[in-house]
Amino acid sequence: MKTLKIVLAAMLISSCAYRNSSEETNKFSDQFGKDDFNYKGSYVWAFDLMGGEQVSTHTFYPDSISYTMKGKVYSTDYTMKKLSYQKEKNKWIGEDEDNIVYVLFFKEKTDSTLTIYKHKCKTNGLGEAFNFAIPAPDATDDHGWNVYALNHDETRDILPISGHFYNAEKELTIGDAQIIYNQKNVKKMSFHVGERRWVGRHDDEYLQVFFKSLNVEDSVQLSIVWSDNLEALYSTKYKSVNNWETYARR
């Protein structure tokens, strides 16, 4: 379990990152967006991991964003000082107390929710931040886009696909709380919409399902892997998957 916690913590943050300097801040100062940042309040995203809840919170201020992550797998807190905000792109750049630079993008703001993409600049600080373009809507890097809410109870990721699917002799019944795969009932442990990853457990085995897309009509492309090594499953990245199969509705 100790090893697994270390691996999962590494998935949430990188232990190594480029540290910004005052010289670099001065070098890029003419590129800083000068728009006022008017978002307010604490936005929360809660998700299941290893049978427990992780709670990620961004609290917005005009000149900074405070961040906390709480849970049994990983916990942290830091404040990012605003360096740049471009309202037209909804692109915010800041640095924390350790001079590590972050880029945040915002979209689909409602009265109670906000979708956030967050990138930690690991190799080139502000240079990396200014070159970092708005991610695609289905991006999976950096854990993808995630919906944060003012109300904690609105934040749980729900698998938006359900029904019966077949591939030759293989059959699959998909639901958020349970997937039945070749007559094995697999109970949900977690679903992460930004990574399009569902993980469940059947007896002492774990099932990982990646979804090529969450917009499904007559068929769905899936990567399905059984393992008794939960650490290995959670360490798998979407872009490394190459065992896609198409399952059709009947």
Three-state DSSP class for 238?
helix
**Band of pLDDT at residue 153, cut at 50, 70 and 90:** low
Q: Do both 37 and 118 map to the same domain? A: yes
Give this prediction's pTM. Answer: 0.81
Q: Do both 222 and 144 map to the same domain? A: no
Nearest to 42 by CA among 16, 66, 15: 66
Q: What is the pLDDT of residue 83?
A: 97
The yes-or-no verdict on residue 8 having pLDDT over 80 is: no
How long a stretch of residues is the chain?
Answer: 250
For the ranges 12-21, 40-49, 203-212, the lowest mean pLDDT is seen at 12-21
Distance of CA 205 to the CA centre of its chain: 24
Q: Do both 104 and 11 map to the same domain? A: yes
Please state, in angstroms and rounded to a whole number, the distance separating the CA atoms of residues 64 and 93. 10
Please state, in angstroms and rounded to a whole number, the distance separating the CA atoms of residues 40 and 65. 10
pLDDT (tens digit per residue) in 182-199: 899 999 999 999 999 999
Q: Do both 87 and 54 map to the same domain? A: yes
Q: What angle do CA 196, 241, 188 make, to 5 degrees?
A: 40
List the domain range (segments joined by +) for residue 60. Answer: 2-154
Nearest to 222 by CA among 204, 238, 200: 238
Q: Do both 53 and 96 map to the same domain? A: yes
The yes-or-no verdict on residue 12 having pLDDT over 70 is: no
The yes-or-no verdict on residue 74 having pLDDT over 90 is: no
Q: Do both 57 and 104 map to the same domain? A: yes
The domain total for the chain is 2
- For every residue of 122-139, DSSP letters joined together read -SSHHHHHHH-PPPPTT-
Mean pLDDT computed over every residue of the chain = 90
Phi, psi dihedral angles at 141 (to 5 degrees): -65, 155
Q: What is the pLDDT of residue 156?
A: 76
Q: Do both 33 and 107 map to the same domain? A: yes
Over its C-alpha atoms, the chain yields an Rg (Å, rounded) of 20
Q: What is the H or E stretch that residue 226 is in?
A: strand 219-227
